[in-house]
């Protein structure tokens, strides 16, 4: 560059502006490529290199003058600083879940108390009474799990809970009027379908109301079945003794589902993945995960052990002349409540992996359920039922968070459906495997069934360990999400907006300089 001669004062204004614009562009490119700053001399229109030390001194003595906003529209950034309302405002949904599970799972678990009255009423065999009172409602409730999931996704929790409550309550009303044991089986089939609809919906809808507190809420609502197991056996026995019939006890149970239907009216949220093109094939996708398939195998063995326990524990205690066997059996529900309270506290800390909790629940539940084969006295049955309740309570409270860890919250309804399907199949197979339906109803037959359940329990524990460790290994080596996968992240969106504004301002400055340069050239 050549310095302008001091005597030349007649240079045109166009040439001055042209050189000034060119030097500004040159300064921009030099800074971007070399990292050095250049001072623009207003008197000589030249570029002089400035060292970093000189630039720091200049910035220190320079007054803090706010730069003017560049011309043109400014891109706005909206950052929501308002605190989000606490999820505990939806605590009423958790209370509804607690009660509905109390009225659904808690009632099904105490249906074994109606076996002897049904035998006297219909003069049938114990196998037929077990099928009508235990196998049909429990198996239908669980085997139809995928259907209940589809119904929930299509109609939502409100309709699903109301329909389930109407089916269950109506079946309890018409059940005592059935003239044969086979009509009673048809009525209990309605009980199973209704219970499945209510259970699947009230558990899945918790994920729509609770995001951060999901595990704590899932563990809390699972206390409901334990409370039902603890309270209902003695209550139903008192009603049957007072009225000398099991019909009033069924009509008493039907009142629970009237309240459940009223609760369902207040649940308004819909499933997050509800679409008009939903089909059964979309639910099968959850079975593509190896951890979930192994979980189903573990559930098959564990549910077989649980049903053997339900079908034989009262017979075994009666054969040993244990007094107040219903009270001992109900003590299992109280123990499960204690286990669920402990698990609720542990899950709220978020320090123990769900897989570890699931392994512990399998070990406690399976070993204690099958250990009834070695019980002969009152205190032995008391301890056995207590640990069985704790193990079952831990499993019930940990199941939903464990499934969420495997398939995600959006697939929870499908995962519950297939888990219930396998549990229902295992009930039927559990009767056949234990030989309970063919060998008889004596105490020794019941004890031999518990010996068989020991091997099933060990298999369930092994599969649970494999599933949990595989899940933890997958999470440990899980790749971090890419920027494209995190496009819906609020933090990343805010950062992107800020970067976008900075980039747009630099681009706007360059375009303005180039436009001025082109305008001066044209002139």
pLDDT at position 353 is 81
pLDDT at position 30 is 56
Q: pLDDT for 52-95, tens place per residue?
A: 556 566 556 555 545 555 555 555 555 555 566 666 777 888 88
Residue among 191, 220, 137, 166 at smallest CA distance from 428: 137
* pTM for this entry: 0.62
| Residues in a beta bridge with 49 | 38
Break the chain into its structural domains and give their ranges. 13-64+492-522, 91-476
pLDDT at position 172 is 94
pLDDT at position 307 is 82
Q: pLDDT grade, residue 6 (50/70/90)?
A: very low
Residue among 407, 90, 147, 414 at smallest CA distance from 271: 414
Averaged pLDDT of the chain: 74
Which residues have a Cβ under 8 Å from the Cβ of 53 and sit 6 or more positions away? none
| Residues in a beta bridge with 37 | 50
Residue of 158 and 315 predicted with greater confidence: 158
CA-based torsion, 266, 269, 270, 271: positive or negative: negative
Q: pLDDT for 424-464, tens place per residue?
A: 888 777 767 655 544 555 666 678 888 888 898 999 999 99
Contact 215, 92 (CB under 8 A): no
CA-based torsion, 383, 384, 390, 393: positive or negative: negative
Q: pLDDT grade, residue 16 (50/70/90)?
A: low
Quote the CA–CA distance of 329 and 333 in Å, as a whole number: 8
pLDDT at position 209 is 82
- Choice among 31-40, 188-197, 330-339, 401-410 with the minimum mean pLDDT: 31-40
- Percentage of residues of the chain with pLDDT beyond 70: 68
Could you please state the CATH topology (level 3) that the domain comprising 91-476 is classified under: Growth Hormone; Chain: A; (1.20.1250)
pLDDT at position 279 is 52
């Amino acid at each position: 560059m050549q310095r302008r001669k001091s005597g030349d004062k007649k240079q045109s204004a166009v040439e001055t502006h042209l050189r000034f614009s060119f030097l500004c562009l040159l300064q921009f490119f030099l800074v971007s490529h070399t990292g050095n700053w250049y001072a623009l001399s207003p008197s000589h229109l030249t570029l002089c290199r400035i060292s970093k030390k000189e630039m720091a001194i200049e910035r220190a003595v320079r007054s803090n003058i706010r730069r003017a906003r560049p011309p043109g529209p400014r891109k706005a950034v909206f950052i929501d600083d308002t605190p989000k309302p606490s999820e505990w405002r939806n605590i009423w949904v958790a209370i509804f879940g607690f009660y509905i599970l109390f009225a659904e799972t808690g009632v099904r678990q105490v249906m074994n108390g109606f076996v002897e009255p049904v035998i006297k009423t219909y003069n049938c065999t114990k196998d037929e009474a077990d099928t009508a009172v235990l196998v049909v409602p429990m198996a239908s409730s669980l085997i139809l799990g995928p259907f209940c999931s589809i119904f929930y996704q299509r109609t939502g929790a409100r309709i699903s809970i109301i329909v389930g409550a109407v089916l269950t309550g109506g079946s309890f009303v018409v059940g005592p009027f059935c003239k044969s044991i086979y009509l009673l089986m048809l009525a209990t089939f309605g009980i199973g379908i209704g219970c499945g609809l209510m259970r699947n919906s009230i558990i899945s809808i918790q994920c729509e109301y609770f995001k951060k507190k999901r595990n704590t809420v899932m563990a809390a609502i699972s206390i409901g079945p334990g409370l039902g197991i603890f309270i209902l056996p003695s209550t139903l026995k008192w009603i049957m003794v007072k009225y000398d019939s099991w019909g009033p006890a069924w009509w008493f149970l039907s009142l629970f589902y009237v309240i459940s239907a009223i609760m369902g009216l207040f649940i308004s949220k819909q499933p997050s993945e509800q679409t008009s093109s939903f089909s059964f094939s979309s639910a099968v996708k959850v079975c593509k995960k190896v951890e979930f398939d192994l979980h189903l195998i573990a559930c098959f063995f564990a549910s077989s052990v649980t049903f053997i326990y339900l079908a034989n524990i009262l017979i075994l205690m009666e054969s040993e002349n244990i007094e107040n066997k219903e009270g001992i059996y109900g003590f299992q529900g109280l123990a499960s409540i204690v286990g669920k309270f402990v698990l609720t506290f542990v899950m709220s800390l978020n320090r123990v992996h769900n897989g570890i909790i699931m392994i512990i629940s399998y070990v406690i539940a399976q070993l204690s359920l099958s250990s009834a084969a070695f019980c002969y006295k009152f205190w032995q049955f008391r301890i056995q039922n207590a640990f069985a309740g704790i193990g079952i309570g831990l499993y019930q409270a940990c199941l939903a968070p464990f499934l969420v860890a495997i398939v995600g919250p959006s697939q929870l309804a499908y995962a519950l459906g297939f888990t219930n399907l396998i549990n229902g199949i295992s009930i039927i197979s559990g009767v056949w495997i234990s030989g309970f339906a063919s060998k008889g109803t004596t105490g020794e037959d019941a004890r031999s069934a518990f010996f068989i359940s020991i091997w099933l329990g060990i298999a369930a524990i092994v599969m649970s360990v494999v599933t949990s460790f595989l899940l933890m290994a997958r999470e440990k080596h899980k790749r971090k999400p890419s920027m494209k996968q995190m496009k819906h992240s609020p933090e990343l969106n805010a950062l992107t907006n800020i970067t976008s504004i900075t980039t747009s301002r630099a681009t706007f400055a360059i375009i303005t300089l180039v436009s001025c340069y082109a305008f001066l050239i044209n002139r």
